[in-house]
Structure 1
Amino acid sequence: MALSRLQPVINGSGVVIHTNLGRAPLPVKSVAVGTGHTNLEIDLATGRRGKRAAYLEQCLAELCGAEAALVANNCAAALVLILRHFTAEKKEVIISRGELVQIGG
């Protein structure tokens, strides 16, 4: 039973973000910040609930020279947003079977 516990390993696979090895390792500073409270969804100026991705969206828009930006937390959500934008008047989208990917399970 002791062998079934998570153990640190060295990724010698050649795959930088290996899904079987816990994906991307967290930097030490990120772990330190994540152990306490943060202003993830609170606007420090008003004390009210804020938007989780507001800072990232602001930075992304500035980097791209865009008026605004939108961040999705996964590929499926991003695909839905893209499809809704480009197919506003259509009711269906055809996707080849080879492009369908199931993550997990």
Structure 2
Amino acid sequence: MDYLRSFGSAAVSTLVQKSGLNLPFSLGAKVYSCETFWTLYDATKREDGSLVSFFEYDVTHPLNKSTIPLARNSLRKLRTIQHPDVLRYIDVVESDSAICIMTERVRLLHQV
């Protein structure tokens, strides 16, 4: 199972690199994927090696076409909110094919 997980992460990393995006982090294992909306990955920030989370929104997915404004609004809100009890935004990369948000490391609630 770990082999498949690492294979999936490698595939996403390769696709992102081929798209010409220079990401400020190294992609790790896929943590969660939803048919629509976000896919969550563990990642490591290249600058200092800190653990972060990577949320990817696939703009090209047919089911996501109607929710692109929602994803962009979520990003805009996350950038402006700074509170110790709210997820800390670190960086974002937007392209024609994806919206990628890097935040402090998160865990799924059922893992807590």
Which band: TM-score by shorter chain? Answer: under 0.3
TM-score, normalising length: structure 1: 0.26
TM-score, normalising length: structure 2: 0.25
